[in-house]
Structure 1
Amino acid sequence: MAIQEALRGRVVLEGSLEGVRRIAALDAAHKKGGPLVAVAVLYDLEKGPLFVGRALLPEEELFPYIPGFLSFREAPAYLEALSALPEAPEALLVDGQGIAHPRSLGIASHLGVNLDLPSVGVAKSLLYGKPEGFLAQEAGSAVRLLSPEGRPLGYVYRSRMGARPLYVSPGHRVGLLEALTFVKGLPTRYRLPEPLRLAHLEASQARVEAWSTGSLGL
């Protein structure tokens, strides 16, 4: 908690991702009794997926699962997966929270500050805060996500008609509205933006492989 309190002072909530072309989409998968698998999909917004970096962290080395402290569990594996990419991304798209976090330092913010990269969190469930109002069913609808004190944390966003909402919050070096604008501009065939959907599929497949063989087959 002290680390999070210290690092949140380094989070920059300004900046645009306009012109960014190559991002790393990050997702992880874990099954009790097996290793945690982290995946970084290097995705070119003009060409599509280019490369997949994977990392495996044995369960005995994992930080315990405690809500609000996910970065201490998953970030070490993400850093290893990112190091496996042939080039550094221009920005990070993370399956998790940015500043929509009790101490304003979700995993997207923690990684962004650590690597000094623009980052955006796209979470599938709500961790902290509440929607400012009703979210319409139409694709592209968004309402602000507010802290208990009324401070803007990001947006509740519906990517597809009738789909369950996503929770978009800036991680580091990007503004609140700019983070939403960036996510809205990503190719999206299903609920998740395509780069994150691919990362999720890769992580799920890698988890199955690691569970059955004890390795990633690399």
Structure 2
Amino acid sequence: MKIYQSHAWPLTVEEAIAIQEKLRNQVITEDQLQESVQYVAGVDMGFEANGTISRAAVAVLSFPDLQVVETTLAYRPTSFPYIPGFLSFREIPAVLDALEKVETTPDIILCDGQGIAHPRRLGIASHLGLLLDLPTIGVAKSLLIGKHEELPETRGNWQPLIHKGEIIGAALRSRTKVKPVYVSSGHKVSLSTAINYVLRCTPKYRLPETTRIADKLASARSSK
């Protein structure tokens, strides 16, 4: 799989902020998808050797039947600490290594993290989408920023996630009577389309099948 653009990976928070501020205006939050989506992918991370080794997993599934087509793994030394809001700098280098091994280019990538629902509007899904020039969606298990109204308990209900007067994503009930996930545009996908694909990739459980499968691969024999 081709990596569209790259940059030096920073070692300090100040350097990371500068990259986020530079890239944030390149993010597209309108639909620029293939007319026929045939493959969706999930990416996830595990860590080994007390966090010093990153283990990245990619799972490519057929769409809409969500059957596994291809999986890859990659390892590299972890070069950035865990700091909320800077997940991409810790995880993307190894994720790119795993994606470079993928032979089936996905039409959409669902990331276990934020898209534009981020203080500088450049979470891991947006950052990855820019580097790959591919549509991406952020599907996070927890809230990073923003507020939303209470959700009805049935699957498919959602409320806008609002930060500083701007809609940055949605709290989505992906499974009835289970706590919501937090969906946001990553790159080249609108919020409404993101919600649609997350639901279609989440037939049974709280998390999309893409995330569940990638997580199993990333977590195996790791201390995640």
- Using the size of structure 1 for normalisation, the TM-score is 0.89
Q: Partners of 1:144 and 1:79 in 2: how far apart?
A: 31
Amino acid aligned to 1:162: K
Deviates more, 1:186-195 or 1:116-125: 186-195
Q: Partners of 2:94 and 2:19 in 1: how far apart?
A: 19
- Using the size of structure 2 for normalisation, the TM-score is 0.86
Contact 2:26 2:130 in 1 (8 A): yes
The structural deviation recorded for 1:110 is 0.2
1:3 corresponds to which of 6, 19, 38: 19
Q: Measured at CA, do residues 16 and 139 of structure 1 come closer, stay the same or move farther in structure 2, by a change above 3 Å? A: farther
1:140 corresponds to which of 125, 133, 156: 156
Contact 1:156 1:168 in 2 (8 A): yes
Q: Deviations over 1:62-88 (max 9, x none)?
A: 211111111011000110111111222
Q: Measured at CA, do residues 126 and 104 of structure 1 come closer, stay the same or move farther in structure 2, by a change above 3 Å? A: same
Q: Partners of 1:33 and 1:25 in 2: how far apart?
A: 21
Q: Partners of 2:217 and 2:173 in 1: how far apart?
A: 23
2:43 corresponds to which of 26, 29, 40: 26
Deviates more, 1:79-88 or 1:92-101: 79-88
Number of positions where the alignment pairs a residue of Structure 1 with one of Structure 2: 205
Q: Measured at CA, do residues 146 and 33 of structure 1 come closer, stay the same or move farther in structure 2, by a change above 3 Å? A: closer
Q: Match of 2:111? A: 94
Contact 1:37 1:206 in 2 (8 A): no
Matches for 1:114-153 after TM superposition, within 5 Å: 114-131=131-148, 133-147=149-163, 149-153=164-168
Q: Partners of 1:207 and 1:25 in 2: how far apart?
A: 18
Q: Match of 1:63? A: 80
Q: Which runs of 5+ in 2 are unaligned?
A: 1-16
Helix, strand or coil: the match of 1:128?
Answer: coil
Contact 2:28 2:189 in 1 (8 A): yes
Q: Match of 1:53? A: 72
Q: Partners of 2:110 and 2:67 in 1: how far apart?
A: 14
Q: Partners of 1:106 and 1:191 in 2: how far apart?
A: 21
Contact 1:120 1:171 in 2 (8 A): yes
Q: Partners of 2:24 and 2:111 in 1: how far apart?
A: 17
Amino acid aligned to 1:139: R
User: Aligned-pair RMSD on alpha carbons?
Assistant: 1.7
